[in-house]
Amino acid sequence: MINRQVEDSAYPANAVRLPQELWIQPVNNTSDVLRDDPDEHIPHTTFLFRGDAQLEDVIDLGLQAYREGESEHQFSVVSAGSSVGAEAYGVLAYLSAVAPDLGRVSLVGVDILPRLSDAAQAAQYRTTRPFFSDVERDPADTLPRFGFALEPYRDPIITSGLYSVDASKIRDAHDVEFRVGDLRNPNLEIPEANLILANNLLFHLSPDAAETVVRNLLVS
Ligand SMILES: C[S@@+](CC[C@H](N)C(=O)[O-])C[C@H]1O[C@@H](n2cnc3c(N)ncnc32)[C@H](O)[C@@H]1O
């Protein structure tokens, strides 16, 4: 938080800034999509606008390289370890705000667990706790500007301050696909991309597995 505030002063007043990270979980029939299976040992947790300021910088670099290349191809993104799609929709929301001329962006998310990819495709979430503190703004002030539809969400225990978050409009404005695959598999087909995001993926893999994943992503 302190870092973000310091960095804020360095940004031009009219720069598009992502909202701060927002904890969400998918809304579906099972409601336990993000559970940690004892035999998997894989953390799935994710936030909307994961690593906000850092994410902006990475996207800006990818965009700059794309512009300099004067490519006629569609701008393309891979979200490696896409979980329930929070990173994917955050990236698309930001790209639409800073580079609307790109039109439809191609985004492929890859995750090892089918239930996560299904939830990502569904694009229906809810916030998980009230967000009315000094440092956290009400998501209703920021998310609709980035294309997310919000409605009050009633939880049996917390009765105010929660929202359902619908990212389907963002999904449908782009060419979005969530695939199931193990990124350690060298035969996995990963499309070429202008921007490859692998936020919070490598740290929980063994050094050998992490190296294989990076190699696979770079070959793509
Ligand atoms: C901690 S989450 C990070 C999600 C998102 N990238 C973010 O930063 O918010 C890590 C994700 O990587 C996925 N994952 C772990 N190992 C994987 C592998 N070998 N192949 C594909 N996905 C994997 C997990 O299922 C999980 O959804």
Mean of the pLDDT values across residues 161-180?
96
Q: What is the pLDDT of residues 26-54, one digit of tens each?
A: 986 555 666 666 556 677 778 888 877 88
Q: Is 115 in the pocket of ligand 1 (CB under 6 A)?
A: no
DSSP 46: -
Quote the DSSP letter at residue 173. Answer: T
Rounded-to-integer distance, Cα 108 and Cα 77, Å? 6
Query: Which ligand 1 atom minimizes the distance to the CA of 46?
Result: 9
Instruction: Give the pLDDT confidence of 106-160 residue by residue, as tens digits.
Output: 999 999 999 899 999 999 999 887 665 556 678 898 899 999 999 998 877 777 7
Ligand 1 centre distance from Cα of residue 133 (Å): 30
Domains and CATH numbers, the chain: 18-31+44-219 (3.40.50.150)
Residue 43 Cβ inside 6 Å of ligand 1? The answer reads yes
CA distances from 82 to 48, 112, 118 (A): 12, 9, 11
Taking the CA of residue 86 as reference, the ligand 1 atom at the shortest distance is 9
Q: Is any atom of ligand 1 closer than 6 Å to the C-beta of 210?
A: no
Residue of 201, 208, 215 with the most ligand 1 atoms within 8 Å of its CB, for mutation: 201
